[in-house]
A and B are shown apart, each in its own frame.
Chain A
Amino acid sequence: MKFTYSWLKEHLETEHQYSEVVDKLTAIGLEVESVQDTGLAYKDFIVGQVLEEEKHPNADKLKLCKVDIGREKVDVVCGAPNVTKGMKVVYAPVGSVIPVNQMKIKAAKIRGVESYGMMCSEYELGISNEHDGIISLEQDTEVGRSYVESSGMNDILIEIGITPNRQDCLGVLGVARDLAAAGVGKLKNREFKTEKGSFESPIKIEIQDNDICPAFAGSYIKNVKNVASPDWLQKKLKSIGLRPISALVDITNYVMFDQNRPLHVYDADKVKGKIIVRSAQDGESFKALDEKTYDLKKGMCTISDEEKVLGLGGIMGGESTGCNLDTINVLLESALFDDVNTARTGRDLSILSDARYRFERGIDPRSTLEGIHYATQLILEICGGECSEIVLAGQISETLNTIDISGKNIVKRLGLEITDDEIILILNSLGFGAKKSGESIHCTIPSWRQDICGEADISEEIIRIKGYENIPTSNIRAISKVNKDILNSNQKIISKAKHFIASEGYNEFITFSFSDSKKSSFFGEVEKLKIINPISEDLDILRPSLIPNLLTSIKKNTARGIDSLSIFEAGSQYSSTTPEDQINLICGMKYGLSHNKTWRSEKKEFDIFDAKNDLLNVINYLVPGNKKISISDEAPSWYHPGRSGKIILNKKIEIGYFGELHPRIANKFKIKSRVNLFELLIDNIPLNEKKTTNKPQLILSDFQSVTRDFAFILDKNIKSSDLIKAALNVDTKIIKSAEIFDLFEDKSLGDDKKSMAIKVVLQSEEKTLDENDINSLSSKIVEAIEKSTSGTVRS
């Protein structure tokens, strides 16, 4: 909310500097968002008077003026049609800056005549759009004086953020009241005059639904003259950035920003019969003051007459009964509308208005009558006319809520020693009628504090005024230990996995949890993942997989000329939009060059075995100790069918996939080279709850080991794992390892054949193997492999 310091001082009597007041505002929870010296832009401008005025010798539309600016008389060439001798003007001297375009005034020759400075229009000062002529000041304005001072523009504009609970501070009066309670001044007494009225209002008011509108006060004022508002009122509205419209409208706006009391004026001659406050009917529509037509629904609060809807209660008036300069008779409304209903209607129709903003936060019921009397007076003063007796439909509750609080509880909550007496003092300064009542403190909640309903709320009031800086700082280490692991097993696994994978060369990316349904159907059922109000069309679903966003990032990075990319993301993916259907996993991708040609190595591209290697390494790291890992070629459909695999832990747990991205998907993402990736299914990793710190026993043989190499010609579809398995099974004790060390395909072997070579390490734990032992084992190995693969050994 915006207000000026001078406006605030109309309610607050204070000796304090504005800077102290500003600090206090923030300290009591009315956070100052900006402070602006409104006179700053005009500080160089001076009030001048045109002494002489004659036609420019070389230009028809220009005039030569001599202007008295107090300290001297200057020549100014002026193009304004309205400049006349004797006129009091705003003079911008050489060196000053014109606010609207930041132009610096220089001494200049205009069509051969020297000109020093400029006389300004309202447009040039940024006050209004008026640029047809220069400003003509009142004749009694003192020549030579600073324009800022004489116009009263030397003010401070303060903008504060109002939290949703502080509806009472949506008017300058409320802000002043809070400051007074905090000790920076005294709230000025307001003279409250009630308007008696000389006749009965011809427009009756009927409330049909008291739940949506508990009270509606009306004042009928006849024979008004809706003029432009007087200067003081226009200035006030302009000072907080509002555009003056006409006296009737300006008065309602002024009362709203001053006292947080929304009002509305109807052109009474356009109202047919009586005013009826009722729920809208389905299918009804209404054209509001913003010139838009709204389709109403049952439950919305309308202000209607006997024919039509005139306005939406607490939100916006209608076009049909709007006031203009010809309006003669008016009905002024001051009402109470239900906060929840106002919020719902405003949200359903997407109408934002100052009235809605206030009513949905709760309005001081007592402002209903105060506001209507005050605004009626202003209308009579400014627009003339005669007012009726005030009509009140519905009821304004006179009783105030009360609450008993305990000083002990307050101390316990705040951690601050404070006496009951001080509590009572603070509460009373805020308008809570607080007094001691036995062990507790009895509080009467002021009508303007709709937000206060419990002891906790009161504790905030106390500490707000006492000052948050007075809360001591206590050590938390000593109290109520909670015996729980800081990270659970799953959280530890994720953290360890991230670091390990990054150490394998991958850079961690974090992408949005959303993705593009058009590109994600490969990975899941996109219809089940829709976001109702997506941020953009290409982020319209929750991601069914980490893959699509990472592919998009590959595309972006390669476009920037990056030819080697190792990236991973640890995050969630979704199988539906229910809270339960979220799983955690890690996806790593290696794309492009493993390394470029360097001075010591040839260029090499990443392949699926990089992904496989990295995935197996991280699994071995995360699942230490004895385990059985097997690899099958049944990866999900988003992998290349012939270049992908699935890793199974202990025969049954699917723990990860690796391989090349299906080329069809790469195409869809316009990625040209092969993408090698893995997915680690974090949630499937067995949690080692009963962790043993013992490692398995290590048995080392002291006898010499022997290695033997064997090469086989095999059918192409034979897997290396078959060879290794066959070899190892020959003698699980003596055969320590079997590894593939060579692989090649050649026409000479036959079209569907390949050669694969295996290196076997033999070592006994009981003796040194002799030639016979070795030969016998070798033949068994050859035999076993030939048998299981139908291959033949190469000699």
Chain B
Amino acid sequence: MVDFTKLEQEITNSLSKVTDLESLNECRIKYLGKKGEISLLMKELANLSGEDRKKQAEILNTLKNKTLSLIEDKTEELNDRNLNEKLSSETLDVTLPVSSSLGSIHPITQVIEEVVTIFGDLDFYVAEGPEVETDYNNFTALNTSEHHPARQMHDTFYVETQTDNMQNVLRTHTSPVQIRSMLEHKPPIRLIAPGKTFRCDNDQTHSPMFHQVEGLVIDQESNMSHLKGCLEIFLKTFFETDKLKMRFRPSHFPFTEPSAEVDIGYTKKGNQLVIGEGDDWLEILGCGMVHPKVLQNVNIDPNSFQGYAFGMGIERLAMLKYGISDLRTFFECDLRWNKHYGFSPLNFPSLIRDLS
């Protein structure tokens, strides 16, 4: 009779001494291989009979299963140890630098897209016009006759071509898009027109080229209270604060009557402007009810239709919202500036996700 207890002891002992997968495999063959000790004992069962055979078979099976389980445990232990050894030899310096390959979107583009997003939600569409304009579209049709004093405030660039015997100009504002759009479409009209504008002025606070966005609404009922409502939604959404304070005060533009300038409340904290707090006022845009003469000039009956218009500087919006202090830096093309103030190309302004 085989001493199973001894055999089990021996198996347990030899397995516990195993330190690598190779000897473990040798162990496995020694006991469980075709000619292994347990396998041979199993074969010998055939020589037994009756109760003995049954009893011994049971014992052998138990021993076999236990051995298998011990081998499995050992395998896992050895694998673990191997992996740990491998891990400790695979350490990399994760502080080594990597680089980003994304470029950037100019703050002007970003702000225009924000403005379009907000007004788009209010059912405005985007209209455009050329940067070289006729004197008529830029001034006369906008109720600014040749000798109107307001013309002198626009330091106009002139070019050598003419239309109707008048020198063409680089548009001094985006307002001529109003004229083009009203000649092309009948009311109701609800548009914004962002774009480049030009004035012959170049100093710390003026750039010969800058950007504006024009707004125009013409229908049968839009009045000054709608203008106020429209700008309130816009300014609060744009500056991303419901606390925004807004002040309308009378002003003058030849193409609107009544005309208003709009100020927003702000305070200065250190070097930064905080919009929506404080008691100081900052001029942000000009607006008013479209002058009846302008409507007449584009063959719209001012007795049936009315509406409002507004215009604001994109650079100013960008400077206030994003804390850019110098107007001239927008067009200096200093890569360091663009990388600092620019926006991720994957950032599409949205009212569902984020505006900025």
Contact = CB atoms under 8 A, between A and B. Distances in A.
Contacts of A550: 333
A511 B333 contact: yes
Interface of B: 96-97, 99, 101-106, 108-109, 113, 116, 120, 122-126, 128-134, 145-150, 152-153, 157-161, 163, 167-168, 170, 188-190, 196, 198, 200-202, 208-209, 217, 219-226, 228-230, 232-233, 247-252, 254, 257-261, 289, 291-293, 306, 330-336, 338-339, 342, 345-346, 348
Given A510-B331, A513-B209, A577-B168, A414 B126 contact: no
Given A343-B149, A511-B333, A512-B331, A539 B208 contact: yes
Contacts of B130: 579-580, 582
Contacts of A189: none
5 smallest CB-CB distances across A and B, nearest first, come from: A415-B225, A29-B250, A163-B252, A502-B345, A460-B258
Contacts of A578: 132, 161, 163, 168
A735 B254 CA distance: 69
Interface of A: 26-29, 31, 163-166, 339-340, 343-344, 347, 360-361, 412-416, 454-457, 459-460, 463-464, 468-469, 471-477, 479-482, 484-488, 491, 495, 498-514, 529-536, 539, 542, 549-550, 552-553, 556-557, 560, 562, 565-568, 570-572, 574, 576-582, 595, 598-600
A328 to B, nearest CB: 39
B159 A412 contact: no
A479 B222 contact: yes
Given A486-B120, A508-B103, A531 B345 contact: no
Contacts, number: 278
Contact of A474 (B132, B170, B225, B252): B225
Contact of B157 (A468, A507, A531, A580): A531
A370 to B, nearest CB: 24
Given A459-B289, A509-B338, A579-B129, 19 more contacts: A163-B252, A347-B152, A413-B224, A413-B306, A415-B225, A416-B225, A454-B293, A456-B292, A459-B257, A464-B258, A471-B228, A474-B225, A482-B124, A503-B345, A531-B157, A532-B160, A535-B202, A568-B103, A582-B132
Given A507-B335, A530-B160, A578-B132, A361 B258 contact: no
Contact of B258 (A459, A479, A491, A509): A459
A344 B148 CA distance: 10
Contacts of B108: 510
B147 A339 contact: yes
B188 A460 contact: no
Contacts of A471: 224-225, 228, 248
Contacts of A477: 122-123
A460 B198 CA distance: 29
Contacts of B146: 340
A536 B188 CA distance: 43
Contact of B106 (A510, A530, A535): A510
B349 to A, nearest CB: 10
Given A29-B250, A513-B196, A599-B96, A473 B232 contact: yes
Contacts of B219: 479-480
6 contacts: A29-B252, A360-B147, A474-B225, A480-B222, A481-B123, A502-B103
A159 B145 CA distance: 28
Contacts of A454: 257, 292-293
Given A164-B252, A577-B160, A509 B123 contact: no
B103 A503 contact: yes
Contact of A530 (B105, B159, B331): B159
B198 A482 contact: no
Nearest to B250: A29
Nearest to B190: A482
Nearest to B233: A476
Given A507-B335, A577-B160, A578-B132, A164 B150 contact: yes
A416 B248 CA distance: 14
Contacts of A531: 157-159, 170
A560 B125 contact: no
Contacts of A582: 130-132
A456 B346 contact: no
A509 B224 CA distance: 38
